[in-house]
Structure 1
Amino acid sequence: MVKKNIQDYSVRTVENVFDILELITIEDMTQVTIPRLCSVLNISKNKAFRLMVTLEKLGIVERYPGSGNYGLGVCAVGLSQKILHSSNIIAHAHPVIEELARKHDEAVYMTVLKDDEVTFLDMVDCEQKVKAAPLIGKRFPYFSNAAGKVIRALETKELNKVFKRTVRKQDLCNLDLLENELADIRQKGVAVDCDGLGDGIISVAVAVRDYAGKVVGAITILGPSFRMLAERLENEIIPSLREGAEMLSGRFGYAK
């Protein structure tokens, strides 16, 4: 019997659908047109059209009248919320980040790391007039934000491999600076990043561990630099983040 690779069983059309949904979520609405899909996904105009008609019929995407542009439909949004709220991480984390958001009136996120990118899974927003755009569902390179840095800093066994990939993918010139920063974060147990998520945006993060001591994600608070002053970070934000991360880690069975 010929042993088949898992790739032999993949269905390209299904892969196309996931590629389409990912493209729609990360690009501006004005860019997601049939020609754009054909160009990025390397599929024919006929196939792209048939896929979008099917997804539109199911309510997964919706087409904006007069423009031909596509965005996520109501069914896709509803499905994503069901997936998020059924997640074990979200279920445990949401009450904790909600308490932190109410206490400090800043946006608080639960984040996880996949490969070399941080995903902002869940959030509780603040009521401030000036705030960053919501990042839920967004992905960013680990070195661009506090959450990614604090998770990576504690994964000491993988750092050499990570640095090699970072150089290959991003061609960073300041790799030594990043390595020193991660070493400092590892010692302090908290990461603070300036401008990585946007000009004037400060992000602060503390890692969350499971019963085996493995880092499963990070709680992150972010806000504009004029509110996230050094004294406030040291005296209010960071102590609260430590407490929240310790509480959430305890829910995952972690004990020091």
Structure 2
Amino acid sequence: MCKEAGQRGCPRCSAKGNGMPRALETRRRPSKDYAIHSVEKAFDLLEAMCEGGGELRISELSQRLEMDKTNVFRLLSTFENRGYVERVDGSGGYRLGLPAYAMAQKLLSHMGLLRKARPAMARLARLSGEAVYFMAPRMGEVLFLDVADSSHQVKVVSLVGRCFALGTSAAGQVFRVFAPNTDRPLANKAQGVMEFPEENRTKIRQSGYCYNENGIDEGVSLLSAPLFGAEGEVVAALAVLGPSYRLPRERIDGDLAPQLLETARGISTSLGYHRDYMLRIAS
């Protein structure tokens, strides 16, 4: 041990003459000095997957990240083993897996929008007895982010973390009608996209909600309504979902649709939208 340790100004054992041994100086170094390069690369890859939105090939990721293809493959394989990335059969591409969406959902649960919506979702679920979902658009798809579950013993398996094409059910139609810009990615996703005549859009605007059977799955019905932000933009959507035998058209028109619209109006108000909800829907 240096005889001068602890003395002021020791060039070997002190930092800047403050008497602090260099072994302890690491406490004052910037955090970036301890960054692990391989972990940084892993996060770069995940961020690229998020920005890409859909499927990405190893060659694309290698070019975007300026990373060797072998290293990209190793990182993808690691994430694939944990489920955060999944390989797409037949295409050779990769996309984010459900655990990645589940992690995002946990983060979103602490954010203002979903936090404000949850009490109203729970009330509607108790009132209707059916599952009430919070949904958001995602690159030509609709993502089911959260649910206030049904009180019935017979119910549809949870869809939290699942994505469906905007054009395949009422879950996505609500965005196609009230946030038409979300329709643009559908140009590259023609397979499975339902025709959507203008008269259907007009009917949906007149009623204020979207409804269909068997869009999500056989025997499953869903009705959805938009949620507006402070500027009148569509920020998300609310949906009531359940077995079709419990959601006949008569019940939809009788009580479920009015309950859904009133709940969506209340949530929109809590998000800062203070104009007439039904007038915004009809516009």
TM-score for both structures, normalised by structure 2: 0.63
Tell me how large the CA RMSD over aligned residues is. Answer: 3.8
Structure 1 counterpart of 2:200, from 175, 181, 203? 181
**Identical pairs, percent:** 28
- Structure 1 217/78 Cα, relative in aligned 2: closer, same or farther at 3 Å? closer
1:234 partnered with 2:248:
no
- Structure 1 170/192 Cα, relative in aligned 2: closer, same or farther at 3 Å? same
User: What SS does the aligned partner of 2:230 have?
Assistant: coil
- Structure 1 52/94 Cα, relative in aligned 2: closer, same or farther at 3 Å? same
Q: Which amino acid aligns with 2:189?
A: K
Instruction: Specify the alignment match of 1:150 in structure 2.
Output: 174
Structure 2 counterpart of 1:14, from 23, 43, 59? 43
Instruction: Specify the alignment match of 1:215 in structure 2.
Output: 234
- Structure 1 128/112 Cα, relative in aligned 2: closer, same or farther at 3 Å? same
Structure 1 counterpart of 2:111, from 70, 81, 87? 87
User: What SS does the aligned partner of 2:109 have?
Assistant: helix
1:55 positional shift: 9.6
- For the 8 Å contact 1:150–1:189, the answer to whether it is kept is no
1:156-208 CA distances to partner (integer Å, 9 max, x unpaired)?
Answer: 5x38xx3x653442156863x44432232122211002111100110001111
1:135-161 CA distances to partner (integer Å, 9 max, x unpaired)?
Answer: 1111111122223211221235x38xx
TM-score for both structures, normalised by structure 1: 0.68
1:84 positional shift: 2.2
- Structure 1 250/12 Cα, relative in aligned 2: closer, same or farther at 3 Å? same
- For the 8 Å contact 1:17–1:51, the answer to whether it is kept is no
Q: Which amino acid aligns with 1:196?
A: G
- For the 8 Å contact 1:146–1:192, the answer to whether it is kept is yes
Q: Which amino acid aligns with 1:169?
A: K
The number of residues matched between the two structures is 215
The CA distance in 2 between the partners of 1:253 and 1:80, in whole Å, is 24
1:248 positional shift: 0.3
User: What SS does the aligned partner of 1:143 have?
Assistant: coil
Identify unmatched segments of 5+ residues in structure 1: 1-10, 22-36, 62-70
User: What SS does the aligned partner of 1:232 have?
Assistant: helix
Structure 2 counterpart of 1:199, from 199, 202, 218? 218
Instruction: Specify the alignment match of 1:127 in structure 2.
Output: 151
1:170 partnered with 2:190:
yes
Greater RCO, 1 or 2 (C-alpha within 8 Å, sep 6+): 1
